[in-house]
Chain A
Amino acid sequence: MSSATQSPYKAKTSTGRITDFVDQRVGGSGILREFGRKVFPDHWSFMFGEVALYTFVILLLSGTFLTLFFDPSMAETHYNGSYVPLKGLQMSVAYDSTLNISFDVRGGLFMRQVHHWSALLFVAAVSVHMLRVFFTGAFRKPRELNWVVGGILLIMSMAEGFTGYSLPDDLLSGNGLRIIDGVIMAIPVVGTYISFFLFGGEFPGTVIISRLYMFHIMLIPAIILLLVAVHLFMVVVHKHTQYPGPGRSDRNVVGYPLGPVYAAKAGGFFFIIFGIIAFVAALFTINPIWNYGPYDPSPISAGTQPDWYIGWVDGALRLMPGWLFNIPMEWNIPLPWGVNTLSLNILLPALVPAGIVFILLFTYPWIERWVTRDDREHHVLDRPRNAPTRTAIGVSGFIFYCVMWAAASSDLIATHFQVSLNDVTYWLRALFFAGPILGFIVTKRVALALQRKDREIALHGRETGRIVRLPHGEFQEMHAQLDDYKRYRLVSYESPVAEEGIPNENGIVTKTEKRRAALSRFFFEDRVAPATPAELEAGHGHHEAIESAEEHKPVSRY
């Protein structure tokens, strides 16, 4: 690969000589040739993956600092640090060392806050990144596997967050573990055993913190690192997607070359993210463990909630009624060897919503592929409005999540809006079912309306706000026609048509195929066709003609 072996090439600049020195020893010139000028499209919504990556780097840096001082032992000790209201209190070594990091290690409090704020931002960035990928259709062929890797990364980051949340062994995190233990115990047959093995005996035991610590600082970060490498490798293989626009197609990628512009922007962005987190950690308290006190199974604080990314599961636990129309949701099942207990009031909310969300998330690329029978590679993204049904599905999933998330703070909603806690729960129970459906309908209508608006603008131009009076007395608003580039952005999308079931080789439309046809109608029955040059031509001549034509054209239902 390297040309250095054959020709006595001499670099002329000093940086050139250094590059060459390294190259002759490790042979990176081929890679550099491939990557040095690789093109990356530029759009603000493409940056969230980077936010996630950078916050992960910050987490590794600040986390390493914290491990130097943190001791994950649950042995008992008496606090003798600087924080007066806890002085002399009996507590675990883990909590004691976290207090020492906060109060007696210079910069320790800052690092703790950096670590926790970045953790919250990390999971948020992963989520927003996945929302962007979903709403723009970036998960389509050939990127389905990378979407799956991303989904696993989301789960891993939530696991990483929860194990970290539990480490300080304060009252808040201890009660969080207590809830997890309660959920584990509800698992049929093996629940009690898992709980005893995990906690090394009865809750809380003396080993859980050090076990979670191992997961938190070794196993899960290693898996995340590995998956991030796979994820980025696939980004390089696929090259980045791009938004539709003039000059952009599935056969090219338009953007800035990696060196220097993109590298500078991306590199600078790391420092910006670090800077933002440093400012937030300087000015805003996060997880003030000294307020909560050491873990003790008897006390509890009002407002005991998990961090936001686990909140939706906690919210689902809150929404589930224990008694449904006088039918208990916990059943004692008489079996030949005795009576066993099945706690549906815990199992259903803990498993079903999360199950629905993640199964749909992982299978969606294949569902859409099956419905559309679209086996092409897609590198140009959809604007969300141009895929109304997908966008509506995404929004309804988002609302489903948010209702549960809101339920996790039902007590705070009650106190801060001065409403009854019970009423908040009743309303959220209703929204749990109605919210996603309403969200779907409204979003689909909004997307179709935006498409019609685009069509209108593409054909008639933008409203200028300038009213003129025509010679025969009519008032008309002047429209400014778009230039070719702007128009192309509005018309260059695909609008698939709902398909009837296709007969197989025996001439029979199979049941599966009928189902596919039904789904296809669900997806594409309501559609707005992109404007065509013929329509634009017609519009230039007769204003009325195009109006009447539009009545039939844009939304075709059958």
Chain B
Amino acid sequence: MKALSQKRRHPLAAIALLVLGLMLTGGLYAVVTTVNQAKADTTTFTAGQAHEGEKLFVANCATCHGLGAKGTENGPSLAGVGAAAVSFQVGTGRMPMQMQGPQALQKPAQFNADQTNELAAYVATLGNGPGIPEAQYLDGKGDATKGGELFRVNCAMCHNAAAAGGALTRGKFAPALAGVSNDHIYEAMVTGPQNMPVFNDANITPEGKRDIITFLNTIEHQGSPGGAALGSLGPVSEGLFLWTAVLGVVIGFTVWLTSRTS
């Protein structure tokens, strides 16, 4: 102790302390993040989580989905939908629903990550269903070409070839996919939220889903080489832009051209 107190005025002490501090925070951070990752990797939840989740469920979800999530007129039974469905629906703010409508809309998430996990843990106890996706399929390092091909065959008809979204019948729609996190994309494919069909692993393999995610990440981040994309909506937005902005500028010039100077 004495030696330490003597040395604390050493010119190098401050540096040593700084290094120590940095290493400590870094180490702690590493531990914490690996813990988090481990959590995400596994689909096993603790009984405590499920218990907490049940409380949350009764307070927030049972109105529509019924006690024990058996379903009512206003909401389907959740037996067998799996943790992935909860992670998607609650994680993207679609659930709890604000009001009944053609389909649940995305909005700011009502529950934090822990609460979402607890709810997922509870719903997972109700029956077997798709679990939280494994991180190895979410890294966006697959084959973008393959993913693009799969996307065009299986997804583009609703979500548009540039993932800009599209209309379904009677007020329903397929949302744009820019800004949707990789795990939510994966969960949507395996659970088929709302009117979206389910793409199980026999239909599109986990590797295929990884490729699709890679493709979506690629086109989202590469930007539009030709300039502003006008919403990537195709000829309609191009025609509208031409008739308003371009023709407006042309008319402006014709008026200037034929007016007299002062």
Contacts and interface: CB of A to CB of B under 8 A. Distances in A.
Chains A, B in direct contact (C-beta < 8 Å): yes
A303 B239 CA distance: 13
A267 to B, nearest CB: 11
Given A284-B227, A301-B157, A411 B167 contact: yes
Given A87-B145, A301-B161, A303-B164, A414 B236 contact: no
Interface of B is mostly: helix
Interface in A99-117: 102-103, 109, 113, 117
Contacts of B169: 420-422
Given A302-B160, A305-B236, A121 B242 contact: yes
Contact of B148 (A85, A117, A419, A422): A85
A89 interface: yes
Contacts of A43: 258
Contacts of A273: 250
Contacts of A85: 144-145, 147-148, 215, 218-219, 222
Contact of A408 (B144, B162, B236): B236
A286 B226 contact: yes
Given A288-B162, A293-B152, A300-B157, A44 B247 contact: no
Listed residue (A48, A124, A282, A299) with the most chain B CB atoms within 10 angstroms of its CB: A299
Interface in A297-347: 298-308, 311
A272 interface: yes
A280 B248 CA distance: 13
Nearest to A280: B246
A172 interface: yes
Contacts, number: 194
Given A85-B215, A276-B250, A302 B159 contact: yes
Interface string B222-257: 101111111011111111111100110111011101
Contact of A86 (B145, B174, B225): B145
B166 A415 contact: yes
A458 B259 CA distance: 24
Interface residues of B, number: 59
B253 A306 contact: no
Interface string B189-225: 0000000000000000000000000010011001011
A171 B253 contact: no
A175 B257 CA distance: 42
A36 interface: no
Contact of B257 (A44, A48, A89, A103): A44
B167 A412 contact: yes
Contacts of A300: 156-157
A97 to B, nearest CB: 17
B9 to A, nearest CB: 59
Contacts of A286: 226, 238
A175 to B, nearest CB: 11
Contacts of B239: 120, 307-308, 311
Given A120-B239, A291-B161, A301-B156, A411 B166 contact: yes
Interface in A404-433: 408-412, 414-415, 418-423
Nearest to A282: B227
Interface in A134-173: 171-172
A265 interface: yes
Contacts of A299: 152-153, 156-157
A283 interface: yes
A311 B159 CA distance: 21
Contacts of B232: 288, 291
B88 to A, nearest CB: 21
B143 to A, nearest CB: 9
A306 B227 contact: no
A51 interface: yes
B165 interface: yes
A276 B253 contact: yes
A127 B167 CA distance: 30
A544 B226 CA distance: 66
Given A44-B255, A293-B152, A296-B152, A412 B236 contact: yes
A291 B250 contact: no
A172 B235 CA distance: 10
B134 interface: no
B2 interface: no
B166 A303 contact: yes
B253 A272 contact: yes
A265 B258 CA distance: 8
B149 interface: yes
B10 interface: no
B148 A86 contact: yes
Contacts of A51: 250, 254
A220 B125 CA distance: 68
Contacts of A423: 171
B80 interface: no
Nearest to B165: A415
A284 B156 contact: no
Nearest to A119: B242
Contacts of A414: 167, 171, 173
B40 interface: no
B107 to A, nearest CB: 14
Contact of B102 (A411, A412, A420): A420
Listed residue (B170, B222, B225, B235) with the most chain A CB atoms within 10 angstroms of its CB: B235
A129 B251 CA distance: 12
A1 interface: no
Given A276-B249, A285-B226, 18 more contacts: A44-B254, A46-B258, A85-B144, A113-B226, A121-B247, A172-B234, A265-B258, A283-B227, A284-B228, A287-B238, A293-B149, A303-B160, A303-B233, A306-B235, A307-B239, A414-B173, A421-B168, A422-B169
Nearest 5 CB-CB pairs, A to B?
A: A302-B166, A308-B239, A285-B226, A301-B161, A411-B167
